[in-house]
Structure 1
């Protein structure tokens, strides 16, 4: 019978090695018989701590720590143990409104990053972008935290504020102060735009998204639209069954929507059973914030219905998760399979390339400027550079864009303040900051180059 040795170190003396203090003496040997049960070591460790640890032990916390460690050892950012509070938060995110900043996040290579901000959310309004890496929450580093631990720090009651420090590729560190709000359940928004074209934006895939989409399609058909744009930009995904049902509305009967590959190599192929797919010219908008279920739908509509994709490469999340709940409502969310596009491609960490590439104007990627800070002549910082680029985009051509608040910047700010009837002091803060960002957002909505390209492509098919 094999035996494993556990050593109980008895505190007697202290030594210092490489600046670390240890308390050690010759170890006492304790033998634990093994019987082929892989959990014998775990149970024995539990017994040792219960009997010998110098403080009272919270048994529930000990067990939850063991479960959490077990799941984390998978080294899969999409597999996590969620305690009661975290499981409740996860459930709210896919089934009802919740209070927070409104951004999907994930762990990637030991960091927490933004997958996508939700449409109309505080996260979108302040300018958080897909793949922004979150470094700090309220001045505390989140290095080493799980996704759920990070979520619990970021979420909070409506009206309260949270400060995030993020790192953006090509820009550096950015500081965002965000006021939390209620993130609504509604996930589908539709309207009729130019030349009788219908536009449907899908912001995520929750329990009601399929019903919302069907209603929007009925409304647009009653208005006799002649073409359709489906906007999946900034859609972080959600429920796979919703993506399947929604894709089926556009894919002819018998065509592949999705393939799922399990760890034994077997595959399950999902085919459309829809007798009457939507028969309209369609284009689909995608970008770097289109992820998971959003990518499932984009791939299905392109590969199985011949619908062109317009925009930028998607996020690249090609795995399927399931959640199992315990009696106390805590749960384990874990990866069960890969999902493949209709033609069998695995897009994980690669994304989906659009057939027609289109980028937004450069000012769409400028960071949020905190209205509470004061930018003035002589300052040299990231926020100054962002403000200069915004002023330039708004037509103040004389301003320099070098990150230094010089005479030309002060003059441009004063001209801006005069034009918009603000206090003329040449400083960027408060109402001046908010007005600049408001006008940039309006300009972007009026100059959505990706949408314009999608309309152009659609008209060629109409």
Structure 2
């Protein structure tokens, strides 16, 4: 009866050992029996089990076991006072893992959990969300007429997802159009995580959509191809990139930064992990990085490291401001839990939590941002050519 609940409790109490940025997989196989048989935990779990048995035996309408367990799990995670803490059932956990591996399906948005609710941070081109006019920064307040404030993110996402060709109606708030409802037709979304091209002035342009497994190698490959093709500098576009895996963030920063600090992660008990550039960087390449309010977590680590090391120039808008680490732990009983385990700090020593990274050139509007980035890159290239940069 309590196997699943104990597994969740262990994952909440005992933190995993490997830190990542937006998400981290629990690195240790925790032993529920060790917790159950230690100290006060045994009595407390016996107390909880007594309540569960009493409710099953005597309540007027006998609740389902899954309903009781779900309620207990929600209570455990709610007691953390952690806005990012979530329990995922097996299907939702598989979906989360697929996202981190680079898969994506639904209406074509990337959403971010915040204390204010579920916020749209990226709307992809050519998707139902873009065609319907969804805006980055809007909050999802209802799905098919049902308010979602009290529901965990995985439940909301499950309600938004569905078979290709079916419809879903989202209630939105916080955008330029105020509170509104939009009906979208679901579709299969296939998006590359890295795209590159030569701009009209010959400069190289690399866009990153997410920090999924292997993306740093792809960025290095695309940048190298552009340089071999004659590009005199690179515009790295992190706008709307919600983040991902810490290792990939460090590796992407290391494509451009030869040495020095990239990020510091501070866990509970003041345990600190420092990550530095790995060497073999394309160090002399003029670089401009595009950011906006949809650039979060891993994107902010890369942007902050490049700015603090004076390796390149940042253009756009202040970034999202997510400076915490969430661990993802797979449960033996099925599914998984996610919860905050650390904070990270950019090389300056600053935390960007709820603050973000301020770009060197503040520019609004996607076209103006790119135009400014190209102009700034030309100036960097010129300075390098005449020996002043």
Matched, 1:58 2:64: yes
Partner Cα distance (1:219, 1:125) in 2: 33
Q: CA deviation at 1:177?
A: 2.1
Q: Distance in 1 between matches of 2:292 and 2:208?
A: 13
Task: Name the CA distance, whole Å, in 2 between partners of 1:188 and 1:234.
Answer: 13
2-side partners of 1:170 and 1:190: how far apart? 31
Within a 5 Å distance, the mapping from 1:41-56 to structure 2 comes to 41-56=47-62
Residues 222/306 of structure 1: CA separation in 2 closer, same or farther (3 Å cut)? closer
Q: In structure 1, list runs of 5 or more residues that go unmatched.
A: 1-33, 361-443
Report if the CA contact (8 A) 2:344-2:351 is conserved: yes
Contact 1:131 1:168 in 2 (8 A): yes
Q: For the Cα contact (< 8 Å) 1:99–1:158, is it kept in 2?
A: no
1:276-322: CA deviations, max 9, x gaps?
Answer: 33421010000111111111111111112431100011111111111
Residue in 2 that maps onto 1:334: 339
Aligned residues: 342
Aligned partner of 2:372 in structure 1 is 453
Aligned to 2:230: 224
Residue 319 in 1 paired to residue 238 in 2? no
TM-score by length of 2: 0.82
Q: Equivalent residues in 2 for 1:102-117 (5 A)?
A: 102-109=108-115, 111-117=117-123
Q: Shift of residue 166 of structure 1? A: 0.8
Structure 1 Cα separation of the partners of residues 283 and 264 of structure 2: 22
CA shift for structure 1 position 328: 4.5
- Alignment match, 2:205: 199
Q: Give the RMSD, CA atoms, in angstroms.
A: 2.1
Q: Deviations over 1:133-176 (max 9, x none)?
A: 21221222213112111111111222222111211255411332
Q: Which structure is higher in RCO with an 8 Å CA cutoff and minimum separation 6?
A: 2
What do the CA deviations read for 1:225-275 (whole angstroms, capped 9, x no partner)? 10100001111111222111111111112x100010112123211111213
Q: Give matches, 1:175-254, under 5 Å.
A: 175-253=181-259
Whether the 8 Å CA contact 2:287–2:311 is kept in 1: the answer is: no
Task: Report whether the alignment pairs 1:280 with 2:285.
Answer: yes
Counterpart in the other structure of 2:309:
304
The answer to whether the Cα contact below 8 Å between 2:112 and 2:242 also exists between their aligned partners in 1 is no
Unmatched tracts of structure 2, length 5 or more: 1-38, 382-389
Q: Matches of 1:35 and 1:160 in 2, distance apart?
A: 51
Structure 1 residue aligned with 2:168:
162
Match 2:103 to one of 81, 97, 100: 97
Partner of 1:129: 135
Deviation, 1:451, is 0.2
